[in-house]
Amino acid sequence: MTNKPLMAKATAVWLVDNTTLSFKQIADFCGMHELEVQGIADGDVAAGVKGQDPVAGNQLDPKEIEKGEKDPLYKLRLKFNAAAVGEDKRRGPRYTPLSKRQDRPNAILWLVKFHPELADAQIARLVGTTKPTIASIRERTHWNIANMTAIDPVALGLCRQSELDSEVQKAAKKRAAEGVMSDDERRKLVSTEQSLGMDTEPRLPGAIAELEGFTLGTTPEPEKAEDKDADPKDFSDADSFFNLPHGDEEDEDDEDSGPIR
């Protein structure tokens, strides 16, 4: 038996418009996330969806609404439906409406960018896509990668916020079981206690971070004092930078040139 009403989003729209129940109460009753219900109230989610009265549909008792309006911590109870007994959720690939299938690559790009810890199977369950498509977007070899924009799949209506949070929590537990990653791996899911207890790795200042590719090497051996004294160079004169000849060579050039007749 399902623990949420039929047409949950339409039911949430009706409860937001016609009751003073809190977002938390409506979210728990409809099996949605509290932020989704807040988005419905703000007009950002379920725009154009007509509300479905759960009382008229024999899914909610009016007394439950009265109790919930008096006590914000009260959880609404779904009416017992004998016809739904023994009806399990059919397991299979997630169906995506034709109007939203063109948005799936953008949702995959968002998940890969902001939740790289999610496995391909988890992304496939959330968005309803295939692993080759996910791999091509991860490796940025997708044919339309240049025109893609990362968009939250919850905002696109491809999955619920509760489903996304559940998958992220599963990935976090898996990472915790495998151990804490190094600082070089981005987007870590590590608790505050673990991150504070980790040894900090030495890092170069940002100003010279781009010079990491150059070998610093060892300092060259100092030249012998004899060599320095043997060939002193005076750079006080600007002509010395051009290695102009000195001494007799200049006199020879002047004699060869002679007066011009």
Establish if 54 belongs to a structural domain: yes
Length of the chain counted residue by residue: 261
User: 35 or 97: which carries more pLDDT confidence?
Assistant: 35
3 state SS of 234:
coil
What CA–CA distance (Å, rounded) separates 82 from 203? 64
> Would you say residue 53 lies in a domain?
yes
Predicted local confidence at residue 97, as pLDDT: 74
Question: Are 130 and 79 within one domain?
Answer: no
Q: Helix (H, G, I), strand (E, B), or coil: what is residue 46?
A: coil
181 token code pair: 């990653």
Q: Which of 2-11, 77-86, 139-148, 222-231 has the highest mean pLDDT?
A: 139-148
Total of domains in the chain: 2
Rounded Cα gap, residues 76 and 26, in angstroms = 8
Q: What is the pLDDT of residue 108?
A: 94
Residue 239 lies in a domain: no
Residue with tokens 């992304």: 123
pLDDT at 243: 58
Q: Is residue 13 part of a domain?
A: yes
* pLDDT at site 85: 56
Are residues 25 and 63 both part of a single domain?
Answer: yes
The candidate with the shortest Cα–Cα distance to 52, out of 66, 42, 39, 40, is 40
* pLDDT over 80 at 257, yes or no: no
The owner of tokens 């150059």 is 214
Residue 136 lies in a domain: yes
23 shares its domain with 56: yes
Greatest mean pLDDT range, 40-49, 182-191, 219-228: 40-49
- What are the pLDDT digits (tens) for 226-251? 554 545 555 555 555 555 555 555 45
Q: For the residues 62-71, what does the mean pLDDT come to?
A: 92
| Its pTM surpasses 0.85 | no
Q: Are residues 24 and 73 in the same domain?
A: yes
Q: Residue 171: inside a domain, yes or no?
A: yes
Clarify whether residues 30 and 77 are in a common domain: yes
Domain assignment of residue 60, yes or no: yes
**In the prediction, which pLDDT does 188 show?**
46
**Average pLDDT estimate for 220-224:** 52
Same domain, residue pair 51 and 121: no
> 32 with 9: CB under 8 angstroms?
yes
For residue 161, is pLDDT > 60? yes
What pLDDT, on a 0 to 100 scale, did the predictor assign at position 1? 46
Mean pLDDT of 131-153: 92
Residues 102 and 169 in one domain: yes
**What residues contact 65, with CB distance under 8 A and at least 6 apart?**
19, 21, 55, 76
Mean pLDDT computed over every residue of the chain: 76
Q: Which of 144, 178, 212 is a domain's end point?
A: 178
Mean pLDDT lowest among 2-6, 19-23, 65-69: 2-6
- Of the listed ranges 35-39, 76-80, 148-152, 232-236, the least confidently predicted one is 232-236
Decide which of 178, 197, 220 is a domain's last residue. Answer: 178
126 with 55, same domain: the answer is no
Same domain? For 69 and 112 the reply is: no
Contact residues for 121 (Cβ-Cβ < 8 A; gap 6+): 131
DSSP 100: G
Q: Give yes or no: residues 72 and 14 share one domain.
A: yes
Considering the domain architecture, whether residues 80 and 143 belong to the same structural domain is answered as no
In the predicted model, is pLDDT for residue 25 greater than 70?
yes
Residues 173 and 133 in one domain: yes
Mean pLDDT, residues 183-203 taken together: 52
Specify the pLDDT at position 195.
52
Residue 220 resides in a domain: no
Q: Which of 121, 146, 178 is the last residue of a domain?
A: 178
pLDDT higher than 50, residue 124:
yes
168 lies in which domain range? 98-178
